[in-house]
Amino acid sequence: MAIVSVCRGTRSGGQAFAECLADQLGYPVVGREILQAAASDLGVSEAGLTQQFERAPRRWDRQTATRRVYVVGLQAALAEHVAAGNLVYHGLAGQFLLRGLPAVLRTRLVAPLAARVRVLVEHEGMTPDAAERHIREVDAGRARWVKMMYGEHIEDPALYDVVINLATMSIDAACALTAATLEQPEFAVTDERRATLENFRLACRVKRALVIDPDTRGLPLEAVAHAGVVEVSGSAPLLSTGETGDRIAEISRAVSGVKQVRLRLEWFDPYP
Amino acid sequence: MAIIAISRGTMSGGLAVAECLADRLGYPCVGREVLQAAATTLGASEETVRRKLQTPPGPWDLMTRERHAYVVAVQAALAARCVQGRLVYHGLAGQLLLRDVPGVLRVRLIAPLAMRVQAVLSRHARTSPSAAERFIRSVDRQRRRWVRRLYDVDINDTSLYELTINLESLTLDTACVMIGELARQPHYEVTAETRTRLEAFAAECDRRVAEVIGQRPGGRAAENGA
C-alpha cells in the first residue's frame, strides 16, 4: 500500500513516469481527474481552477482567501482516491496536499530545459524560443504560487522524499527505482496507516462542506478527524445571533461518516 | 559494475549509506583514503588537503593556483580508484571531481538539521546542541562557497545528481536499496568502453598532477609522489 505523488516542471516526463509506475504496480493513476472532480464540487470551470494553481495569488485573492477554497476542494477530491491506499498522483501540489500522511512517497522529477523544449517543439509544433518562454513562464508561476501559499521554494529538495533527475536516467529506470522503494517497510500496509488515511478523507470532506456552504465559505477553518469524531478549529465571527458555531457544527455533522463534532473556535468581533 | 559518488552535508548519514551500499554490491568503499593518497602525493598532511577541499579559496590561492594543485591531486587519487570500475565514494566533491567521467551515478543525501544535530551530539556527548548546529551550518556554508568558487554551481542544485534522497522520511536501508537498484541499470554499467575512458581519465589526472607538482616551488612532492 503506498501513495506516490509526482511533482515536476511542465513537460518533464511526469505523466509518462506516473503511467509507467501505475502500470508496474497495478495502482490507479490520477492527475487531471482530480481537478475535474474539484471543479465540479466547487461549481467552477476546470480551466479556472487550474489557473488558481498555476498562477501566483493576487493581493485580492489573498485577502479573500479565495485560493484556500480551491486548495480545500482539490485536497478533498484527492483524499477520496487516497483513502483506498494505492495511488499514483501526478497532479498539482501533491507534496503539500498530502503532507504529513503515512506511506506517501513524494517524488520530484527534474529534466534538462533542452529536453523539455524538444518535447514542446515536437509535439506542439512550437518554435524553440516560444517553447522555452512557455516553460519558464509556467515554472515561474508555479514557483510563485508555492512561495505565496506555503512559503516554500518548489525546488527545495527537502519538500520531497526523492528527487529524480531524468537527464541521464530513463523513465523505465526511474520507474523501477521507485517500485523498489515502495517495497520497503516504510510503505507496508498496516491498520494504523489505513485508519490515518480514512481520518484524512473524513476531515477533508468536512473542510470541503464548510467551504462550499455560503454561511461558512470565507472562514479559515481546519478539521481533524479520528474514528468519526471531527474537531473543527479556526476563527469565526461572534454574531449576536450566536448562530455561527451552530451552523459550523450542523454542516460538519451532515457529512457522511461523521459521528460527533467538537468545536475549538476562536471568536472575533466582525464589527470592531 | 558501477561507480557511485555520494555527496551529503556533514553528519547526514552518508557514511552509513555508503557502507551499506558497498556491502550490498561488494564494492570497495572509500572516502578519506583518497585524501590520504593526495596528501602523500603532495607531501602535505591529510588535514591540509581536507581544508583545501572544504574551505573556499582565498586571494592567495587564486593568485598562485595553490588550491588547484590540491584539487588535481585528490582527483587523481580518486580516478586511480575508479579504474577498476566498481566503487562507492563518499568523500568530498565526488559529483564534481568525476563530472567528466561517463556513467557515474551521483547521489545526494539530505537530512533535516535537527537529525544532523542529533548525530553530532551522539558522537560528541559534551557538545551543546547550539554548538553542534553552528558547526553544521559553518561546514555547509564553507562547502557551498567552495563549490561555487571552483565550479560555479550550487551544491544543492538537484540537477547535479541523478538522485537526491531525503533521509527525514526514508531510512538508511531504503536509501541503500534505492541506490543499489539504480546502480543495476544499464546506463551506469561500466562497459569495456567506459573502462577505456576511465583509464584515459586516470592517465590525464596523473599527467596534471605531475604538471602541478613541477610548477610548485622546488617541485615539492613526497618521495613516492606522482
Mean pLDDT over the full length of chain A: 87
Residue B44 phi, psi dihedral angles, 5° rounding: -115, 175
Q: Specify the pLDDT at position A62.
A: 53
The beta-carbon neighbor of A169 closest among B170, B178, B187 is B187
Grid cell 592567495 — which residue? B60
Phi-psi bin for B8: left (phi > 0), alpha (psi -120 to 50), beta?
beta
Cβ neighbors of B175 (< 8 A, separation 6 or more) are B13, B17, B20, B109, B165, B167
| Cα–Cα dist B178/B197, whole Å | 27
CATH of domain A191-268: 3.30.1340
pTM for this one?
0.87
Q: What are the pLDDT digits (tens) for A190-237?
A: 889 899 999 999 999 999 999 989 888 888 899 999 999 999 999 888
For every residue of B151-188, DSSP letters joined together read: H-S-TT-GGGSSEEEETTTS-HHHHHHHHHHHHTSGGG
CB neighbours of residue A267 within 10 Å = 12
Quick check: B165 and B107 in contact, CB under 8 A? yes
Q: Which of A109, A116, A163, A183 to mutate to test the interface with B (most CBs of B within 10 A)?
A: A163
Domain spans of chain A? 3-187, 191-268
From the list B65, B5, B77, the residue with the least C-alpha distance to B41 is B77
| Cα–Cα dist B175/B110, whole Å | 11
Rounded to the nearest angstrom, the minimum Cα separation between A12 and chain B is 13
Q: What are the pLDDT digits (tens) for A6-60?
A: 988 888 888 899 999 999 999 999 988 888 888 888 777 777 777 766 666 665 5
Q: What residues are paired with B127 via a beta bridge?
A: none
From the list A190, A187, A160, the residue with the least C-alpha distance to A25 is A187
Residue B59 phi, psi dihedral angles, 5° rounding: -60, -40
Give SS3 for A267.
Answer: strand
SS (H, E, C) A149-171: HHCCCCCCHHHCCEEEECCCCCH
What is the percent of chain A with per-residue pLDDT over 70, rounded to a whole number?
93
Q: What are the pLDDT digits (tens) for A53-81?
A: 666 666 555 544 677 788 898 899 999 99
CB neighbours of residue B88 within 10 Å = 28
Query: How much is the average pLDDT of B40-59?
Result: 84
CATH of domain B3-219: 3.40.50.300
The beta-carbon neighbor of A180 closest among B110, B163, B181 is B181
Give SS3 for B93.
Answer: coil
| Cα–Cα dist A156/A147, whole Å | 11
The beta-carbon neighbor of A164 closest among B163, B171, B187 is B163
The beta-carbon neighbor of A163 closest among B158, B168, B169 is B158
Q: What are the pLDDT digits (tens) for B114-156?
A: 999 998 998 888 889 999 999 999 988 988 888 887 788 999 8
CB neighbours of residue B179 within 10 Å = 26
Find the closest chain A residue to B169 by CA distance. A161
Find the closest chain B residue to A160 by CA distance. B166
- In chain B, at which residue ranges do the beta strands (DSSP E only) sit? 3-8, 29-30, 87-89, 105-110, 163-166
- In chain A, at which residue ranges do the beta strands (DSSP E only) sit? 3-8, 29-30, 87-89, 104-110, 162-165, 221-226, 229-237, 260-268
Cβ neighbors of A203 (< 8 A, separation 6 or more) are A223, A224, A225, A230
Find the closest chain A residue to B159 by CA distance. A165
Interhelix angle A46-54/A128-150, nearest 10 degrees = 80
User: Quick one: cell of B125?
Assistant: 556527548
From the list A54, A29, A21, A79, the residue with the least C-alpha distance to A206 is A79
Q: What are the pLDDT digits (tens) for A137-190?
A: 988 888 887 887 788 899 999 999 999 999 989 999 999 999 999 999 888 878
> In CATH, what class is A3-187?
alpha beta
Domain spans of chain B? 3-219
From the list B111, B150, B151, B115, the residue with the least C-alpha distance to B132 is B115
User: Quick one: cell of A95?
Assistant: 507534496
Rounded to the nearest angstrom, the minimum Cα separation between A124 and chain B is 26
Q: Measured between CB atoms, does B163 come within 8 Å of chain A?
A: yes
Kindly indicate the confidence band of residue A116, based on its pLDDT and cuts at 50, 70 and 90.
very high
A158 vs B166: CB contact, 8 Å cut-off? yes
Burial label for B190, CB within 10 Å (0-12, 13-18, 19+), is buried
